[in-house]
Amino acid sequence: MKNAAKYVLGFAMVIVALLWMLDILNLVNVTFLFKGWWTLFIIVPCSVALFTERDKAGPLVGIAVGVLLLLSVRDVINWDMFWKLLLACIVLVMGLAILFGNPIKNRTISDKERCDIEKIQREGRNIRVFTVSFGEKHLNMDGELFEGADVKVSFASFTLDLRNAIFQQDSVLRVDCNFAGMELLLPSNISVKVTANAAFGGIEDKRRVVLSENAPVLYIEGNCSFAGLDIL
């Protein structure tokens, strides 16, 4: 699911490296390289993953490690305190996971519980508009006619399950994903054509299917910025 954290980290490393080289060549004066700046390569991706991944414990521990390393490097805490605080953070995360673990992980969630949904008319078709911000969302359209959809996801993980939806003709899925991860589950008889832009992100059809020439086509348009879209 959405490799948003990976793209954020990669983009940040490229920018930092370029600015660092310009600073070395005395072409620019870079002042953002404060003591312990490298810990941001731990803190930022883990912070993004906190909103885009199902597993929250890993990102929380990563953030704790990054913040504690930053405090240690800047002499706010010593290394003895670092290890003690890190152990305390791990125990805290484990306790939170026990208390607030996801009890709905393996069941189907209704539309209203999981994301904001609108219905609009476009070119004589009924279009669903899904808006998802923060957290993990799952939606299926079992037995419903799919004529197209607009999906807006930011700082979230979203799964749109269309495996049991009804496709009667070609349709368009417009995506606007930012710092997010999205999974699109499709029937095996649907062809996909992607024209969406992926800026520091990725769109990948991971299905291994043989389609007929008359298979309905789902056109995926829009933008994925620091986001990943997996078609399964």
What pLDDT does 109 receive?
40
Between CA 191 and CA 215 the distance in angstroms is: 6
* Beta-carbon count within 10 A of 110 CB: 8
The pLDDT, as a whole number, for residue 173 is 94
Q: Please tell me the predicted confidence (pLDDT) of residue 148.
A: 92
pLDDT value, residue 103:
39
Quick: pLDDT tens for 162-204: 999 999 899 999 999 887 788 999 988 888 999 988 877 788 8
pLDDT tens per residue across span 14-64: 777 787 787 778 777 766 667 777 787 788 777 777 766 666 677 788 888
Could you give the CA distance from residue 162 to residue 145 in angstroms, rounded to a whole number?
A: 10
pTM (predicted TM-score) = 0.58
> What is the tens place of the pLDDT at every residue in 76-118?
888 888 888 888 888 887 777 666 654 334 334 444 444 678 8
CB 115 within 8 A of CB 159: no
Nearest C-alpha neighbor of 4 from the set 229, 222, 232, 231: 229
Predicted confidence at residue 174, as pLDDT, reads 94
Give the pLDDT of residue 113: 43
The per-residue pLDDT for range 122-162, each reduced to its tens digit, is 888 889 999 887 667 888 889 999 999 999 887 778 899 99
**CA gyration radius, the chain:** 21
Q: What does the DSSP 8-state code read for residue 214?
A: T
Q: What is the distance between the alpha carbons of residues 229 and 232, in angstroms, rounded to a whole number?
A: 10
Nearest-5° Cα angle at 130, 126 to 132: 175
Provide mean pLDDT across the span 65-85. 87
Per-residue model confidence (pLDDT) at position 65: 87
